[in-house]
Structure 1
Amino acid sequence: MAAPAVDGVIGEYSGNDLKIKATFTVFLGIALYNSLELMVLIFASFRRYHGLYFWSLLLSTVLGVIPQSLSFILKYYDVAPLWLSVSLSTIGWYFMVTGQALVLFSRLNIVIQDSTVTSRVLAMIIVNAIILHVPTTVLTYGSNFVQSSVWVHGYTIMERIELTGFCLQEFIISGLYIAKTIKIIRLSPLSNKPNRKIMYQLLAINALIIIMDIILLVFEYLNYFVIQTTLKSMVYSIKLKLEFGVLSRLVFLVQSQHDWPQNHDWPEDHHWPRSSKKSEDLL
């Protein structure tokens, strides 16, 4: 599946390897299917359409994964003007990557009560969005439309920097969830099997997010550009579906702790478990 490092950076995929074409087509197909399914689940599950959690989840799907996936179909198969596919990819990338980080952030206060920590996480997301999105965007357009070796070389370097930076960001946020979840479970009775099951689910989900990011990094540093970019769309669609399923488990876990503050400011825009104090909000 080896492909030239520059193949796919400028214009369409020009290789003749059917395995690569089949692979990235499957990745993009799965990403689009997951996104459409998630859209249905979002509108079917939320009682009110407001709040950071709802909007970050919805926009990272509708304006993130979907245009990102479509852009690579248009670009790699050369079925649309290059400016259109590059622009769709750039917009989708913004909403997909930073949007997914905001999904993570929007539920962080469920397990972390320290406003200093959450403020620093938000600041990290904002700073990374500026210093990683902006230069990568400039180099993306330069490498595709100026088509100079200098621009292409600069883009390949920046691509690795931004992917590494955003992966480290997710490592940090997922690490906070893992550490706090373990701490919460240690405060609960060992005989509480439902809580222990939820704990293992949360740990597995956050560990899976980290593993998927590591896989993306491996493909990037092995110069499988076409595979990495299309796999990214599928990975983020999976991560968003995982994020959708993790919130109610977090709420159930935290509210089951007897020592947890009863006046906690829970998000109000999501259906809650029946054991929750907000169960009357269920439709």
Structure 2
Amino acid sequence: MSNAYLDGIIGEYSEDNFTVKATFTVFLGLALYNSIELLVLIFASFRRYRGLYFWSLLLATVLGVIPQSVSFILKYYDIGPLWFSITLSTIGWYFMVTGQALVLFSRLNIVVQDLTISHRVLAMIIVDAIVLHVPTTVLTYGSNFVRTSVWVSAYKIMERIELTGFSLQEFIISGLYIYKAVKILRMSPASTQGHNPNRKIMYQLLAINALIIVMDVILLVLQYMNYFVVQTTLKSTVYSIKLKLEFGVLSRLVFMVQSHRYWPSDTPKSYTRPARAREELDYHEFLDIAQSNPEYPYAPKNCKSASSRHREVV
């Protein structure tokens, strides 16, 4: 087995290729920069440090992207013991990938009120976490410490499977809420000029999620082309960008649902419209994000806080 085949998978990146080194260093630097900026946005935008959305977003950043990025700097530049960088990478990978999925899941209730769908999505996230994380972790340690062709080949196969599986998971969750969001937008009353007032928001949502899908596709292409070092480091940057885009997606979803007064009349019986008090409970965490910071870059101007909505109801 050639050193080129093993390089990056086992131990440090030892090839004298300045372009590759510069590329993965820039990617990891961008991931760390985005993470720091995201932390500032999180603590500047949340009034309440609670809820699944807050904790999944925070942990995906602090225990996900940051340790994942630092671990590859240590591993590829051969800084410190190998077991430490691999362990740090594994922990970061868990929180980054599954944490991102929980971020997507946590705001799904804004447009999906069917508990059956929510339970199935959560079950998918749990099953994928077990089926994809555990075997990959075993093969990661095996390929780095046993160092036989069987372990390395098995790891390369499993790496493709897990990346494909997690990408499909994200496609499903994103596609689900896009479908529901578009359905609600189509049922919104038209303006006096005959145009849907929320059409611009719909295009923004579709553009943001199209970008997310494109980034996942790029990772898959790099993986199947055997650009292991570039793919693993680009992944940290991609997930840091995804988490930042969550703020833009969230505020637009909240504004869209607020501006839509009636749920679609053709929704199935399994779709349960929540009571007004339940809506406040479900949405207050997200509404406060958009209103708590006057300079919040993604907040629509007409987005109301949960407290103001509560005063309207009373």
TM-score (norm 2): 0.85
Q: Partners of 1:228 and 1:151 in 2: how far apart?
A: 20
Q: Against the structure 1 CA distance between its residues 259 and 74, is the aligned structure 2 distance closer, same or farther, given a 3 Å change threshold?
A: same
- Secondary structure class of the residue paired with 1:4: helix
Equivalent residue, structure 2, for 1:275: 303
- Give the alignment of 1:249-268 within 5 angstroms: 249-260=252-263, 263=276, 264=279, 265-268=281-284
Q: How many residues align?
A: 279
Give the letter for the 2:56 counterpart. Answer: S
Equivalent residue, structure 2, for 1:203: 206
1:272, CA displacement in angstroms?
A: 3.7
Deviation sequence 1:42-68 (CA, Å, 0-9, x none): 011100100000000000000000000
- Secondary structure class of the residue paired with 1:173: helix
- Secondary structure class of the residue paired with 1:258: coil
Q: Partners of 1:23 and 1:254 in 2: how far apart?
A: 41
State whether structure 2 residue 123 is matched by structure 1 residue 123: yes
Q: More relative contact order in 1 or in 2 (CA 8 Å, sep 6+)?
A: 1
- Secondary structure class of the residue paired with 2:284: coil
Deviation sequence 1:81-121 (CA, Å, 0-9, x none): 10111001000000000000000000001011111111100
State whether structure 2 residue 46 is matched by structure 1 residue 43: no
- Give the alignment of 1:64-213 within 5 angstroms: 64-191=64-191, 194-213=197-216
CA contact (8 A) 2:11 2:78 kept: yes
- Secondary structure class of the residue paired with 2:6: coil
Structure label with greater radius of gyration: 2
1:194, CA displacement in angstroms?
A: 4.7
1:182, CA displacement in angstroms?
A: 1.4
State whether structure 2 residue 228 is matched by structure 1 residue 220: no
Q: Partners of 2:108 and 2:155 in 1: how far apart?
A: 33
Q: Partners of 2:8 and 2:249 in 1: how far apart?
A: 35
- Secondary structure class of the residue paired with 1:210: helix
CA contact (8 A) 1:49 1:269 kept: no
- Secondary structure class of the residue paired with 1:14: coil
CA contact (8 A) 1:125 1:169 kept: yes
1:277, CA displacement in angstroms?
A: 5.7
Equivalent residue, structure 2, for 1:230: 233
- Secondary structure class of the residue paired with 1:29: helix
Deviation sequence 1:204-238 (CA, Å, 0-9, x none): 11111111111000000000000000000000000
- Identical-pair percentage: 73
Deviation sequence 1:248-274 (CA, Å, 0-9, x none): 210110111120456224233342455
CA contact (8 A) 2:56 2:103 kept: yes
Q: Against the structure 1 CA distance between its residues 58 and 194, is the aligned structure 2 distance closer, same or farther, given a 3 Å change threshold?
A: farther
Q: Partners of 1:64 and 1:275 in 2: how far apart?
A: 30
CA contact (8 A) 1:63 1:91 kept: yes
Give the letter for the 1:268 counterpart. Answer: H
TM-score (norm 1): 0.94
2:249 pairs with one of 237, 246, 269 = 246
Give the letter for the 2:246 counterpart. Answer: E
Q: Partners of 2:120 and 2:152 in 1: how far apart?
A: 34
CA contact (8 A) 1:139 1:151 kept: yes
Deviation sequence 1:169-193 (CA, Å, 0-9, x none): 0010111122112111111134366
Unpaired segments of 5 or more residues in structure 2?
264-272, 292-301, 310-314
CA contact (8 A) 2:101 2:125 kept: yes
